[in-house]
Structure 1
């Protein structure tokens, strides 16, 4: 099957809704987070410290540490969903607040040291989160007459 080509045929660049962009940014951030933790298992000594119940450089693993980590992951997963379904005003503020908080947490984690791949993924996560915050902050506006007619 051939596709039309030439000067009369161009690919359509469809507009993507801001909610879908925000959701995709949360998913991309979460994937970087997960892959960073997965690749970290290949760092010499990491599995041994996990078996010993230690989370380097923090020390012995506690339920509080695991709840904190789980909360961060659950927040990202929930924000991927809420970005699609929450009303715009609430959606905007949830994305700004949780995007900034998540970015600060990632920045604190990557400044603790670690291998370069982990820092690289952390920088990518921060860039994605700051893009997300900017997109939410500059959420497109519509006139009041358009909004009330929907």
Structure 2
């Protein structure tokens, strides 16, 4: 029982999947915690959020925005390496840009911290996908 613990290599697809799941959880909880804010609740009750009217278009676009991140869990596990790598880089950088834009004018510390955690996770996704291991053919 004195042996060293064995650390096994985790497939890059599983790493990406785990990072997307974690990112989605942070997305969700930052939004859920927003419902403790009177200013947000009052805005939602008045039919407005972040200066936008809550209507069918807003809700459809919000659903598609979140669905794309949720689908990345499956893409990360099932897509072929080349498509997987490109998609993870593109989608994670898209979310970095939109998350960063959501910080404009924000003053609540929980939100800023949550978004910075999201951006950090998304940049890790970008890096993991960017540095995807390459198969080197054996020398003849």
After TM superposition, the score normalised by the length of structure 2 is: 0.92
Classify the secondary structure of the residue corresponding to 1:45. helix
**1:22 maps to which residue?**
16
What displacement does 1:144 show? 4.0
2:66 to 66, 73, 77: 73
1:66-120 deviation line (CA, Å, top 9, x unaligned)? 2222112101110011100000000000000000001100000122314110110
CA distance in 1 between counterparts of 2:105 and 2:112 reads: 10
After TM superposition, the score normalised by the length of structure 1 is: 0.86
Aligned length: 138
Equivalent pair of 1:72/1:102 in contact (CA under 8 Å): no
**Which runs of structure 2 are paired with 1:1-150 in the superposition (5 Å)?**
4=1, 6=2, 9-55=3-49, 57-144=50-137
Equivalent pair of 1:23/1:83 in contact (CA under 8 Å): yes
Higher Cα radius of gyration: 1
**Structure 2: gaps spanning 5 or more residues:** none
Equivalent pair of 1:22/1:80 in contact (CA under 8 Å): yes
**Structure 1: gaps spanning 5 or more residues:** 146-150
Supply the RMSD in Å over aligned alpha carbons.
1.3
